[in-house]
A = this chain, B = another copy of it.
């Protein structure tokens, strides 16, 4: 049983079973499951198990930024708690139990963040939303159902994933007036929009966000037009990364951009065979902190610069 445990399979199963589960929570939950099954007999074995499984998970999943945030957070949690116990048996049992508590709390953070965001939505607002985000959806739903606020939403179609259509149909079902626009039309509508709300895949140390591609240019437009740009996210998505540019992410590189002169011909040939190039499937970009008005998290409403403080609290207190 313990031999053929495959962390990637477990992780994907968690995501599949629960559509509401985000990647970091699924990652933590898989690690807790792994510990329950593997039953490590020394603390060093436990740490090695967590470490090797984390690496395996990170390498097998593409676009692993929020996933690695969850794994790192769990590792930190293990290292902090492992020294508190005198006997190994109770330590192991408590770790698994607390691991589940940890997952529970991470799950609750979504509705907490949504709750903190409610005062930002006012009657008659026109809100621009980019791509699909569970926490943004929950926040808009709460504003509509609990606070009875009347507002309108514009959703970008969010190529290449086209998750905007999913977001729009969910909002429409909830009775919120919504319209889908092409990503090109953001500049066209931005004058009419009152605020922009997006989710995040991960929040970097600088307070910038890693999110669905296109977030950077929306942030840029928001700043030029003096519109507030809010990010709603759970604090377990804070990651220890410091990207310096929208494309400074651990990713594939476009063949045209990185090509040397000698390889240009190869591109010309391959391109004509394969119209779907790497760049057209790039899923995320980085929005630097200067474009973000505020981060609405389960810890409260933070300025981008407060993120590093929170990260220091988590990692060095």
Contacts and interface: CB of A to CB of B under 8 A. Distances in A.
Interface of A: 124, 126, 150, 152, 154, 156-160, 165, 172, 175, 177-192, 212-214, 216-217, 220-221, 223-224, 245-247, 254-257, 259, 261, 264, 267-268, 271-272, 275, 277, 279-280, 282, 285
Given A177-B256, A179-B280, A192-B257, 20 more contacts: A124-B261, A126-B257, A154-B257, A158-B184, A172-B272, A177-B267, A179-B256, A179-B277, A179-B279, A180-B277, A181-B282, A182-B183, A184-B213, A185-B213, A187-B214, A187-B216, A188-B282, A191-B245, A220-B221, A220-B224
B179 A285 contact: no
Nearest to A123: B261
A43 to B, nearest CB: 43
Contacts of A152: 256-257, 259, 264
Given A126-B257, A184-B159, A185-B213, A177 B285 contact: no
Contact of A159 (B157, B190, B191): B157
Contact of A191 (B154, B182, B221, B246): B246
Nearest to A173: B272
A188 B172 contact: no
A129 to B, nearest CB: 12
Contacts of A247: 188-189, 191-192
B254 A179 contact: yes
7 contacts: A152-B259, A154-B256, A177-B264, A177-B271, A179-B255, A179-B256, A217-B220
Contacts of A172: 268, 271-272
Instruction: State the copy count for this chain.
Output: 2
A29 B112 CA distance: 65
A183 B154 contact: no
B159 A189 contact: no
A217 to B, nearest CB: 4
A264 B179 CA distance: 12
B192 A261 contact: no
Interface hub of A158, A179, A216, A264 (most chain B Cβ within 10 A)? A179
Nearest to A265: B177
Contact of A183 (B175, B183, B192): B183
Contacts of A175: 268
B184 A217 contact: yes
A280 B177 contact: no
Contacts of A224: 220, 223-224
B214 A246 contact: no
Given A271-B178, A280-B181, A187 B217 contact: yes
A278 to B, nearest CB: 8
Nearest to A186: B217
Q: Which A-B residue pairs are the 8 nearest by beta carbons?
A: A184-B214, A187-B217, A187-B216, A179-B256, A159-B182, A188-B285, A183-B183, A184-B213
